[in-house]
């Protein structure tokens, strides 16, 4: 797994005198599930915004899917998918209309959208829901659908920003099954979460604290390194040293 899809070198992002990202260096490999952890305010969101082409780095080099984020942020957007904790689907549109909309935004042809919609509905056991409004779907289903739509255009990387916030344990488990399935298709998954049990599912995790990445390795190695039983213990040791 030396094939990196995200390369970050000496990334610095400042807002005035406030440093949000202080000299970050990391790589994310193709097809892996990369957990991006950190306490609130550690600077995760800033990094994700830079990686997804929404904001430009102050200095340093950021290459996402082979594209330089400082030079062609708009090009990056075509190569990635994104899903956040907040609902990203339109409640007053039907399942199919939402799929059609996002497929269209990513420039997919109508026939391709139709074909993949059929497959997707089949796979999710959503046959009966195709023409239902999102507002009428239960929360768990919406979250699954939102994820499916985020990877509908087969992006190289999908960013998941606390995707399982407010979801019940069973749906969370199913959700992670979908993440595994996606990664196995070669789509890189870049996920932030506050659930430390979820961090255990990741191939590698990085932990941010005060604008810096303070740890980056597989969950097993980190647990050994910090002499901890769980990732949660590792996190607490790092994020709150006292």
Partner 1 sequence: MKRFLGFVKKEFLHIFRDYRTLFIIFGIPVAQILIFGFAISTDVKNAGVAFLDLSKDETTQKLTDKIISSGFFKRTENLVSYDEIEDIFRKGKTKEVIIFEKNFEKKLQNEGKASVSLIADGAEPNTATLVTNYTMAIISGFNTDISGIRANNPILIQPEVKMLYNPELKSQHMFVPGVITMILILICALMTSVTITREKEFGTMEVLLVSPLRPIQIILGKVVPYFLLSFINVILILVLSWLVFGLSVKGSIILLLAESMLYIMLSLSVGILISTIASSMQAAIFISLVGMMLPTILLSGFIYPIENMDDIYRYISYLLPPRYFITIIKSIMIKGTGFLYVWKETLVLLSMTVLFIGLSVKKFKVRLE
**Interface ranges with partner 1 (CB under 8 A):** 15, 52-55, 74, 77-78, 80, 82-93, 97, 100-102, 104-107, 159
Nearer to partner 1, 140 or 237 (CB): 140
Token digits for 154?
């087969």
CA 132 to each of CA 97, 148, 174, 233, 237: distance values in angstroms, whole numbers, following the listed order: 10, 17, 22, 43, 47
CB of 84 to partner 1, least distance (A): 6
CB of 236 to partner 1, least distance (A): 29
Nearer to partner 1, 150 or 222 (CB): 150
Nearer to partner 1, 87 or 180 (CB): 87
CB of 199 to partner 1, least distance (A): 23
CB of 242 to partner 1, least distance (A): 34
Nearer to partner 1, 1 or 105 (CB): 105
Any residues with CB less than 8 A from the CB of 94 and at least 6 apart, and which? 130, 131, 132, 133, 134
Radius of gyration for the chain, computed over Cα atoms and rounded to the nearest angstrom:
18
Nearer to partner 1, 33 or 113 (CB): 113
**Pick from 14, 33, 88, 77: which is nearest to 51 by CA?**
77
- Please spell the DSSP secondary structure of 76-126, one letter per residue: HHHHEEEEESS--S-TTSBHHHHHHHHHHHTT--HHHHHHHHHHHHHHTT-
CB of 50 to partner 1, least distance (A): 11
């Amino acid at each position: 797994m030396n094939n990196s899809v995200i390369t970050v070198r000496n990334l610095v992002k400042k807002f005035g005198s406030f440093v949000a990202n202080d000299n970050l260096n990391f790589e994310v490999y193709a097809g892996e599930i990369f957990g991006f952890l950190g306490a609130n305010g550690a600077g995760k969101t800033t990094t994700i915004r830079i990686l997804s082409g929404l904001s430009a780095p102050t200095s340093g080099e950021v290459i996402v899917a082979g594209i330089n984020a400082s030079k062609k942020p708009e090009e990056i957007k075509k190569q990635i998918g994104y899903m956040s904790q907040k609902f990203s689907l339109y409640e007053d549109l039907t399942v199919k209309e939402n799929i059609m909309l996002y497929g269209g935004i990513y420039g997919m042809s109508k026939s391709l959208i139709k074909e993949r919609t059929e497959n997707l509905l089949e796979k999710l056991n959503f046959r009966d829901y195709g023409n239902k409004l999102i507002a009428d779907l239960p929360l768990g289903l919406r979250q699954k659908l939102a994820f499916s739509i985020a990877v509908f255009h087969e992006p190289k990387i999908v960013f998941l920003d606390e995707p399982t916030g407010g979801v019940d344990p069973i749906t969370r488990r199913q959700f992670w099954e979908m993440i595994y399935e996606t990664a196995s298709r070669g789509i890189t998954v870049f996920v932030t979460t506050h659930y430390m049990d979820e961090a255990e599912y990741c191939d590698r995790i990085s932990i941010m604290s005060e604008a810096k990445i303070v740890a980056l390795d597989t969950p097993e190695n980190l647990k050994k390194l910090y002499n901890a039983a769980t990732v949660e213990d590792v996190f607490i040791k790092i994020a709150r040293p006292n």
